[in-house]
Amino acid sequence: MIFNSIEFAVFLPIVFALYWFVLKNKFKAQNLFLLAASYFFYGWWDWRFLSLLFLSSTIDYTVGFYLDKTDNPVQRKRLLLVTMSVNLIILGVFKYFNFFAESFVELLAKFHVEAGFTTLKIILPVGISFYTFQSMAYVIDVYRKEIKASKDFLTFLAFVSFFPQLVAGPIQRAKHLLPQFHHARIFKYEIAVTGLRLILYGLFKKVVIADNLDTFVDEIFSHPEIYSGWVSITAVLFFAIQIYCDFSGYSDIAIGTARLFGFDLTENFRTPYFAISLREFWQRWHISLSTWFRDYLYIPLGGNRKGEARQYFNLFITFVISGLWHGANFTFIIWGFIHGACMVAEDFIKQRTKIVSPSLVKWSITFSIVCFAWIFFRAKNLTDAITIIQSLTHGFDMNALSEVFDKVYFSNVFVNVLKGCLLFLLLSELMISRIGFANLFEASPRLLRIGYYYLLILLIAFVGLNDNAPNFIYFKF
């Protein structure tokens, strides 16, 4: 079940009504109901995945429970090793087995050795990287004695499987979300309204912007040898916008949906494309994952406490592993490599020079690096990525770009409407970056707010209806 589906449009109001009107003021019953609703939501894709979700949650709950019972450092390390091993093995088998097996077969073939095994046809469970990281972080926090272990098994299951953020985050820390399950939630109209605003804006970004740009992007990235010049540049730029609107749109809907049930989820995006440095970009992009890698990988590796060389190594390796987290493909590793190397270079230059560059120059450099790295993120393989990069420097024909628009969208009217939607997105994002999403509405006259709502609804209804709309991009991670 996905957010932009008829099924979810039926599911959400039913769950909302039962949660608030039938189970009102009974927060334990609400927790149990949310657990059932979340498992139903997740099982809609494939009920077999539920056993994996339950297994991972049960192991981490059990390990956390026993960690709280002992102060013996040896026993505590063994318990931590158990949960780390199980979670990483689950990820390794379902997400990376075929990747490493295929790479090994190719390596042997170069030495004219035929491998005696083949890859397995393993289906990647939706959202496995997200709920595994969330559950694993809980155990690490209990091990560090930053939080107490949960004593309520069903509540812990509800925390891990909470359906608004189960499939693609934001990844929630136990210290932030888990306590919210342990006390009564009170329905607040004002909070619910802010949630609906986020849902509406998230749907606009997803179905109006991201899904329609995907049509153009997919055509060029599926046939990179055919296109060049402005066509390729436009495809790279469109993908940068697409992946932002797709993923931040999901996060908006997730956070907004959680608010409808009285829960507060952490912010995941903060207008990242206005960043004027890569460091700032990663403080604004996929914040829940960035801080996860900072707290559970970069800092444990030594962070910046063991000298400059070690700091740069820690920073670089963190980004490479982050790239691997995104997918079992060398393209993702290179994507992480680019960000890691550029982050190190940026920090190195900043420490040794006192050159003050205009903000526009710094933004241009940052945005260009981010877009260049997106080529590897989007390309199916390294060959296609290299072909796209080579095509960026020749064949600058505006007529070719117009022909591709005609081929992809079939209508000049639709192309103009899409351009208007992109301009509307840009203006909205500029306002959000300056005054924040909440103030964008609260500081506006009531008539202007209503007009904004109706405009989004009309755009979603008439521009966003797409029978072949793709899934959210981050579902495959």
pLDDT of residue 274: 96
Tell me the average confidence (pLDDT) per consecutive run of 10 residues in the chain, 477 residues long.
87 95 89 95 85 91 92 92 89 70 56 56 74 92 93 94 89 94 91 94 94 93 91 95 95 96 95 96 95 93 88 94 87 95 92 83 95 95 94 86 87 89 94 86 82 90 76 75
pLDDT of residue 99: 60
pLDDT of residue 120: 54
Average pLDDT value over all residues in the chain: 89
pLDDT of residue 106: 58
- Any idea which residue has 């939706």 for tokens? 126
Please tell me the total number of residues recorded for the chain in this structure.
Answer: 477
- Cβ-in-10-Å burial (0-12, 13-18, 19+) of 111 comes to exposed
- Tokens representing residue 470 in the block: 């793709």
pLDDT of residue 118: 55
Q: pLDDT, tens digit, for every residue of 141-157?
A: 999 999 999 999 999 99
Report d(CA 213, CA 291) in Å as an integer. Answer: 29
In the residue annotation, 183 being an active-site residue is answered as no
pLDDT of residue 3: 86
Report d(CA 309, CA 139) in Å as an integer. Answer: 31
pLDDT of residue 474: 77
Q: pLDDT, tens digit, for every residue of 18-66?
A: 999 999 888 899 999 999 999 999 988 778 888 889 999 999 999 999 9
Q: Which of 112, 223, 326, 339 is catalytic?
A: 326
pLDDT of residue 427: 93
- Longest Cα–Cα distance of the chain, Å, equals 72
Report d(CA 290, CA 340) in Å as an integer. Answer: 13
pTM of model > 0.85: yes
pLDDT of residue 104: 53
pLDDT of residue 72: 92
- Close Cβ partners of 389 (under 8 Å, ≥ 6 residues apart): 372, 375
Neighbours of 18 (CB within 10 A): 14
What percent of the chain is predicted at pLDDT more than 70?
Answer: 93
